[in-house]
Structure 1
């Protein structure tokens, strides 16, 4: 048991899927896992452990933003021995060819600042996904007839961004989408020798203003979760 995770030793699997929303963690566990067991509910940040195709997996909410994600990723790896962490969440498209409901596999994650930034001082560290996981996710998507976008994303530490100039430059440089956690997940995983990947579903579009409603988001997220599970257990 840690400050933020109430699971007992052995109750967290080596493979952890991490949605930001704890209610999405519950939905994903009840939908995709066999016999999911609630192993954490401290601060309402639900975590469940169960089995998917006889493989043991935990689905643990991370909260919103990189500071919250950093807490859970550090404790999952350091205190519970998690080896593979896959973020499953929503993102906002930043390129015209990226459409609502599309899946994005984050090869890299740019940011203005992360909780890990102070460790690097003057170094501009480039957080990236684990290559075997990324390749496995691409193969899993192909097997489902899904054609994901693979490339760089932007992890923002602000939801209500007031830097249109920055958005314009990232769009100009081919950044696919924006979300709020992946850059820190990749940094924490690299620091501790764990595997990490972000598999994202496009829920809104910065260029067109389109957005999915809550029901459409839930239906669209199923493909993302299945890709993440297939990738985690095929390497």
Structure 2
């Protein structure tokens, strides 16, 4: 199923940001190869989580700002909805609750408990995602940002299918190659095109890298679970 068909079949659509939010908040957007549409999120943590879903091979689709959850009479907007290829659906809420035993921390803990209880009562599968975790995963976030433009470029290459076959053929002979080696073996093609196709295969799950290691020309690429 292509991105347009997946988008039309989704049970949720992203709420549009208001004019005030667009003007006052830290807004990020990008064209999603997975979804075939523009993704618009707020705050760096929102972008980091969106890109995590974008490059997660097991995630079939995701939607930002999918719905509200009524908590203690007020609306709590959930950050994302995701669906895996196996059909498992889950909501995700980015949280920035303070730690400790101060008044604000205790109030935040009560709010968190109320959200969890409301989600359980409504039979909503909800995952709380602390924003602080992305500070510890800066390399992973940066790697996804670096790969994204190549994945976007790969969609428009005239010889994309031909190149994809050649790159995958290398991994049938040997299961690990560096970016440098792939581009050197396929030197009859533009190295930028080869890199774009390699990145698109990582995006699709046919190939994989270690996201925790900073990307460079000699980063090792391996066969992925969707090959």
TM-score in same-fold range (> 0.5): no
Larger Rg belongs to: 2
Higher RCO structure, 1 or 2 (CA under 8 Å, sep 6+): 1
Select the structure that is richer in helix. 2
